Chains A and B, each alone.
Chain A
Amino acid sequence: MKEIVAIIRPNKLDEVKDALEETGCHGITVTEVKGRGRQLGITESYRGSDYRIDMLPKTRLEIVVEDEDMENVIKTIVETAQTGDIGDGKIFISTVDDVVRIRTGERGEEAV
């Protein structure tokens, strides 16, 4: 099992969510987060003075999938969340040792 953590633009959330749903991926956890990437944020100008805004609002998705679904989910996120401009975000993938469904106590892929 893999955990996919995707940091995307907040305004892309609905699109990504709908696209994932179409691929059969339903389980998803969403958090509003702030962060910055390599460009160290953006610059805003107020009354002639420039300020670097280095913590930009982003949306963080956590999705745990079976190994064979991983590439499909990643592809879907990249295709729908991509604008081509700086700030589109990143996807981090890691291995999940085990999963427990709290309601039933099921373990492993059954519980995903």
Chain B
Amino acid sequence: MDVLNSGDTAWMLISTALVLLMTVPGVALFYGGLTKKANVLNTMFMSLIAFSITSIIWVLYGYQFAFGADMLGGIIGNPANLLFSGIGVDQLSGTIPETVFIAFQLTFAAITVALISGAVVERMKFSSWMVFVIAWVSLVYVPIAHWVWGGGFLSALGALDFAGGTVVHVNCGVAALALILLLGKRKEVKLLPHNLGYSVIGAALLWFGWFGFNAGSALAADGLAGQAFINTNTAAAAAMISWVIIDYLKTGKPTVLGAITGAVAGLVAITPAAGFVTVQAAVIIGLLTSVVSYLSISYLKPKLGYDDALDVFGVHGMSGLWGALATGLFAAPFIGEASGLFYGNPEQLLIQIIAIVVVAVYSFVVTLIIGKIIDMVMGLRVEDKEEIEGLDISLHEETGYRI
């Protein structure tokens, strides 16, 4: 029988707060600094409101559908505790209170949808974004979380995703791609950060919070959490270094935006693998992930011509994809009780591929449908005039700076 462990509980409460810090203010600052001056508040606001909306959805019904007892053959959880009814303070989830587990998972749902905003900034209607957050968390995030983490069919298949390579990063990256295909390009398609200093602070807060994200996903204050912690830091560091090297090779100058982009890509890539692989594997995963994301941002994006404003697909989608595959390659049986290709279990790689494809296809198609319906009912995109004026003034009647 499970017994409450106060050490585990304390760590999970801290982890939950750390993951909260990743969205507000982490993502808000990271994205806010990368946009134009006239859109800084709107960009930050998208993360803030995503966090609030998801918080309410999660306690009312999101958690229940995602983590309720499996039904309909692994498709969705049974929402026995709708509206938080019947979830008592004494109820346990493993060695921690279920309330703590719910709060921890809430922060994952919130950051996943907030991450999507980076692709659509500078042109999406705020009202449509709010409706999108409600629909997307309910219809895309919740079922996928159930499939992979809530005992659904991908989990039954043996898909490995320690802290969200497929559930969070492939999912948000692909959804971002679907949404920008509907939205279209901005009038001025440029990545000219108006305040890179914000982005450095935001990325640093993401890195800091990611320890809660990944080490917290051990759901205990134990050695596995320690392994996930050191893997997380290692991969981020390796990826930052490799992006800086790529910058040197391509242009002769290292860039700060490159360094923090590399770090975030490294954090993304290690997420699914954090509790399954060795530190040596974390170095390789980190070093290679910058190559994957760099290529997709500097070659794939211009070639295909989509306007992923802040490179959500390029960084989260592609590095998430690489991390999920790498989990199938590097999973070591003496770390997380699962073996990958390099430990004699090629089947794991196949399972990872299936999980990635299922999540990506579902996320893409359903996001397209949600986006299309919102577009037909209320429109996705702001008026040209509003876009040119900047969304802070035209949508919120506020400016980020009065100097």
A residues apposed to B, CB below 8 Å:
44-49, 51, 53
A46 in contact with B294 (CB, 8 Å): no
Residue B396 is within 8 A (CB to CB) of chain A in the complex: no
- List, in ascending order, chain B residues with CB within 8 A of A49's CB: 191, 298, 302
A48 in contact with B190 (CB, 8 Å): no
Question: How far is B196's CA from A111's CA once the two chains are assembled, in angstroms?
Answer: 47
Question: How far is B190's CA from A53's CA once the two chains are assembled, in angstroms?
Answer: 11
B residues apposed to A, CB below 8 Å:
190-193, 246-247, 250-251, 253, 255, 257-258, 261, 294, 297-298, 302, 311
**A-B residue pairs, 5 tightest by C-beta:** A48-B298, A46-B191, A47-B297, A46-B257, A45-B251
Question: How far is B192's CA from A79's CA once the two chains are assembled, in angstroms?
Answer: 34
**New contact pairs (15) apart from A47-B258, A48-B246, A48-B258, CB-CB < 8 Å:** A45-B251, A46-B257, A47-B191, A47-B255, A47-B294, A47-B297, A47-B298, A47-B311, A48-B247, A48-B250, A48-B251, A48-B297, A51-B190, A51-B192, A53-B192
19 residue pairs from A and B, CB less than 8 Å apart? A44-B192, A45-B251, A45-B253, A45-B255, A46-B191, A46-B193, A46-B255, A46-B257, A47-B255, A47-B261, A47-B297, A47-B311, A48-B258, A48-B297, A49-B302, A51-B190, A51-B191, A51-B192, A53-B192
- List, in ascending order, chain B residues with CB within 8 A of A51's CB: 190-192
- List, in ascending order, chain B residues with CB within 8 A of A46's CB: 191-193, 255, 257
Question: How far is B251's CA from A48's CA once the two chains are assembled, in angstroms?
Answer: 8
Across the interface, name the chain A residue whose C-beta is closest to B192. Answer: A51
Question: How far is B298's CA from A47's CA once the two chains are assembled, in angstroms?
Answer: 7
- Chain A contact residues, majority secondary structure: strand
Question: How far is B246's CA from A47's CA once the two chains are assembled, in angstroms?
Answer: 10
- List, in ascending order, chain B residues with CB within 8 A of A45's CB: 251, 253, 255
Least CB distance from A41 to B in Å reads 12
Least CB distance from B349 to A in Å reads 30
Least CB distance from B83 to A in Å reads 44
Question: How far is B302's CA from A45's CA once the two chains are assembled, in angstroms?
Answer: 15
Least CB distance from B392 to A in Å reads 20
Question: How far is B251's CA from A10's CA once the two chains are assembled, in angstroms?
Answer: 27
Question: How far is B294's CA from A49's CA once the two chains are assembled, in angstroms?
Answer: 11
Question: How far is B258's CA from A44's CA once the two chains are assembled, in angstroms?
Answer: 13
Question: How far is B264's CA from A105's CA once the two chains are assembled, in angstroms?
Answer: 65
Question: How far is B192's CA from A51's CA once the two chains are assembled, in angstroms?
Answer: 8
Interface centre among A44, A48, A51 (most CB of B within 10 A): A48
Least CB distance from A42 to B in Å reads 13
Least CB distance from B289 to A in Å reads 14
Across the interface, name the chain A residue whose C-beta is closest to B302. Answer: A49
Question: How far is B397's CA from A73's CA once the two chains are assembled, in angstroms?
Answer: 46
A48 in contact with B294 (CB, 8 Å): yes
Least CB distance from B265 to A in Å reads 11
- List, in ascending order, chain B residues with CB within 8 A of A48's CB: 246-247, 250-251, 258, 294, 297-298
Across the interface, name the chain A residue whose C-beta is closest to B295. Answer: A48
Least CB distance from B198 to A in Å reads 14
